[in-house]
Amino acid sequence: MTLVVAIDGPAGAGKSSASRALAARLGFRHVDTGAMYRVVGVLARDAGIAADDDAALAGLIDDLAFDEIAERVVVRGRDLTTVIREGDAGDWASRVSTRPVVREHLVALQRRLGAAGPTVMEGRDIGTVVFPHTPVKIFLTAGAAERARRRAIDLRAQGEAVDEAALARAIAERDKRDSERATAPLRPAADAVVVDTTAMSFDAVVDRLLAIVTPHVGAAGR
């Protein structure tokens, strides 16, 4: 059986960097499902499609395929790696992710990716919806202020001016929207291991994740 490590959590909890490092340590594929929703949001925004226009969204993603969805994110020959991390891409991702038509399409794609080989898959509903039966479910979280601080560092590194207080409010709004949506709300799976990264160094987080996953690697086979 192919092992999928499900890592969920809110924005700024450290999922992407920790999941990528964990996958490298294990020799697993890494899939960032949040990047997929960001792609749909950016494509909708650029096409002038409203985030709640289900018919237009369905047409937009009908033949959606990812040329790359790891270190780089390439869709239809267009490199969106940087674009999906800028400005309002996260807000657009959160809004389109509430639409069942979008989630159904992407969840099916994510399941195919996970079935292709050992995978560390990160997102907001991997352990609850996408792979609810995987034996390894982890929910990464951190305090709201710390998550805003981390996101501000990322945005400044991209050359963007950041109002950290406004960013904290935006993150809180996204948390509320993600946790209250009717379809696949953000929450830990009942059997997930919750890891609070607020006071942890990056290396300590990766070591903790590795300790959780390693006992399952031999049992699942490679």
Cα distance between residue 28 and residue 52, in whole Å? 35
Give the E-state strand segments of 52-184 in sequence order.
66-69, 73-75, 78-79, 119-123, 136-141
pLDDT at 1: 64
Domains identified in the chain and CATH numbers: 4-214 (3.40.50.300)
In the sheet that 73-75 helps form, which strands lie side by side, from edge to edge? 66-69, 73-75, 78-79
Tokens of 182: 């009717």
Average pLDDT over residues 63-69: 84
Q: Which of the four pLDDT bands, split at 50, 70 and 90, describes residue 222?
A: very low
Cα distance between residue 174 and residue 91, in whole Å? 7
Share of the chain above pLDDT 90, in %: 61
Q: Which of the four pLDDT bands, split at 50, 70 and 90, describes residue 219?
A: low
Taking the model in full, what pTM does it have?
0.87
pLDDT at 220: 58
Using DSSP bridges, classify how beta strands 193-196 and 4-8 pair: parallel, antiparallel or unpaired.
unpaired
What's the DSSP call for residue 200? Answer: -
Q: Which of the four pLDDT bands, split at 50, 70 and 90, describes residue 215?
A: very high
pLDDT tens for 137-178 read 999 999 888 988 888 888 888 788 888 888 888 888 888 888
What does the mean pLDDT of the chain come to?
90
Cα distance between residue 74 and residue 57, in whole Å? 19
Tokens of 139: 């929910």
